[in-house]
């Protein structure tokens, strides 16, 4: 029995060497990016609870934009990974062009929405219990940050289009180097522009926004320059801009597969913001505490998030090469590895829960609540890792309609109603509300298990293209 378990779920040394060589640069890239956000968050947190809350609210909008961009490149990436497995560089070129066009459209739409509706959207997250002065301070801080951070949508969107295609070719070190090149710049600019060091003016939240925009621009430029100067490793880039021809049938197929993923990522991220809004009705303290806890846990959650992305690339390439049995076997081992890795990360987070909130210049009640939320999130990490891995498994085989139901359906039919009922219709302590909503993920674990076990995702979608 034990030998059967090992054969099914545990790979050999060569397997883990291959997986780690791909995932470690991806994890480091995301951790570096999240580390920048963490340091940025701590520095803004030194300004006080209201500025931190205003920036935190805007980062909910930025989160929706970022995840929507991920969704936009995800559909074409399914085809790109399988084209790469097939050795079809022309097919990759077509998927890359499609990504650039879709990302450009999302950037324009997101910038318009944020500029036109920024103030009323921020007001939705300000608790009615806040006094007038406190509410105005949060709103003004948020708007100052928003007007500048919108500029960063451009380099982020274009940079993700480039990074996604380099990763599906197994070139994960370039995006990692780009992220690392930006982290030092971002930290230095944060220190200079927020607090007025080295002769720069003290700009507060505006300084934090400008630092982020400049760092994102630098990160995108590194990936773009590397891609165009390494054509031997990126053969799809040759002749990319000679024209923007994309076969109609491939456009139709990518749209058919991609729209459910784009809509899913948008609605899922929007759903997370709705859940946050439900928490925020209790008090401004909840917004600040949630900001602190999520900043902390996001740093470590990079491990399971990128493990999922790795599953999409590795399993997708095997499906594209028609190695269907190998894809199934590889997925079993990756799923198990993802959950074990996440459990280890969750254990590492626990001792940091009471320490990390002390870095913020905020009230003791906010720090206490933030520490509690970090503990709850660390305990939920293995569940999140498993459902994330299931999502990417289904996606690798092009089952985007099912992933739509899996992600969007759970968020909007279970998680949001639960959060809304507990927050608006009961007097339960926010700690109980937060724990109940977080651990509702166990329902998604069960759904994901049966979906992956059914093998409906095992298919080659580029065999005849």
Q: Please report the pLDDT score of residue 182 as a whole number.
A: 81
Tokens at 271, concatenated? 């759903």
- In the three-class reduction of DSSP (H, G, I as helix; E, B as strand; rest coil), residue 360 is classed as coil
**Using CA atoms, how far apart are residues 410 and 271, in angstroms rounded to an integer?**
10
Predicted confidence (pLDDT) per residue in 101-156, tens digit: 989 999 999 999 988 888 888 887 776 666 777 778 888 888 999 999 999 999 99
Tokens at 178, concatenated? 């780009």
**Using CA atoms, how far apart are residues 461 and 80, in angstroms rounded to an integer?**
11
Q: Provide the whole-model pTM.
A: 0.74
Q: Please report the pLDDT score of residue 75 as a whole number.
A: 77
Q: Please report the pLDDT score of residue 1 as a whole number.
A: 57
- In the three-class reduction of DSSP (H, G, I as helix; E, B as strand; rest coil), residue 1 is classed as coil
**Using CA atoms, how far apart are residues 152 and 216, in angstroms rounded to an integer?**
7
Give pLDDT < 70 ranges for the chain: 1-4, 127-130, 172, 398-400, 460-465
Q: 436 near 421, Cβ under 8 Å? A: no
Q: 349 near 407, Cβ under 8 Å? A: no
For residue 87, CA distances in Å to 81, 169, 438 come to 10, 10, 42
Q: CA 122, 407, 412, 353: dihedral to nearest 10 degrees?
A: -60
CB-based burial, 264-289: b 16+ in 10 Å, e otherwise: bbbbbbbbbbbbbbbbbbbbbbbbbb
**Using CA atoms, how far apart are residues 161 and 183, in angstroms rounded to an integer?**
20
Q: Please report the pLDDT score of residue 465 as a whole number.
A: 47
**Using CA atoms, how far apart are residues 252 and 98, in angstroms rounded to an integer?**
11
Chain center to CA of 15: 26
Q: Please report the pLDDT score of residue 2 as a whole number.
A: 59
């Amino acid at each position: 029995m034990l030998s059967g378990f090992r054969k099914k779920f545990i790979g050999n040394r060569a397997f883990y060497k291959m997986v780690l060589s791909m995932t470690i640069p991806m994890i480091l890239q995301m951790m570096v990016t999240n580390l920048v956000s963490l340091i940025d968050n701590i520095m803004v947190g030194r300004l006080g609870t209201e500025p931190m809350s205003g920036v935190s609210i805007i980062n909910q909008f930025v989160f929706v934009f970022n995840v929507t961009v991920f969704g936009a490149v995800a559909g074409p990436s399914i085809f790109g990974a399988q084209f790469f497995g097939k050795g079809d560089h022309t097919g990759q070129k077509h998927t890359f062009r499609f990504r650039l066009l879709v990302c450009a459209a999302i950037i324009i739409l997101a910038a318009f929405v944020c500029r036109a509706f920024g103030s009323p959207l921020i007001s939705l997250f300000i608790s009615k219990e806040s006094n007038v002065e406190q509410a105005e301070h949060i709103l003004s801080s948020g708007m100052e940050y928003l007007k500048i951070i919108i500029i960063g949508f451009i380099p982020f969107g274009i940079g993700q289009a480039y990074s996604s295609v380099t990763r599906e070719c197994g070139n994960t070190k370039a995006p990692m180097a780009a992220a690392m090149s930006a982290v030092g710049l971002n930290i230095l600019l944060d220190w200079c522009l927020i607090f007025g060091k080295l002769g720069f003016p003290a700009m507060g939240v505006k300084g934090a926004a400008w630092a982020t925009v400049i760092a994102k621009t630098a990160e995108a430029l590194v990936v773009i320059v590397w891609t165009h100067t390494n054509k031997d490793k990126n053969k799809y880039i040759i002749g990319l801009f000679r024209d923007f021809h994309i076969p109609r049938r491939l456009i139709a197929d990518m749209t058919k597969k991609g729209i459910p993923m784009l809509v899913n990522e948008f609605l899922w991220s929007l759903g997370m913001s709705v859940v946050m809004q439900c928490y925020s009705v209790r008090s401004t303290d909840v917004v600040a505490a949630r900001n602190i806890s999520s900043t902390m846990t996001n740093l470590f959650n990079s491990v399971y998030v990128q493990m999922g992305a790795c599953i999409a690339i590795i399993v997708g390439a095997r499906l594209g090469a028609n190695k269907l049995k190998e894809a199934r076997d590889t997925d079993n081992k990756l799923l198990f590895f993802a959950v074990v890795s996440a459990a280890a990360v969750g254990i590492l987070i626990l001792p940091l829960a009471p320490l990390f909130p002390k870095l913020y210049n905020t009230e003791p009640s906010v720090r206490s609540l933030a520490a509690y939320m970090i503990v709850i999130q660390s305990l939920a990490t293995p569940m999140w890792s498993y459902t994330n891995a299931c999502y990417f498994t289904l996606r690798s085989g092009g089952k985007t309609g099912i992933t739509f139901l899996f992600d969007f359906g759970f968020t909007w039919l279970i998680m949001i109603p639960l959060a809304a009922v507990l927050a608006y219709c009961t007097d339960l302590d926010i700690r109980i509300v937060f724990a109940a909503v977080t651990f509702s993920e166990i329902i998604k674990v069960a759904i994901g298990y049966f979906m992956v076990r059914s093998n409906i995702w095992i298919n080659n979608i580029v065999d005849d293209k």
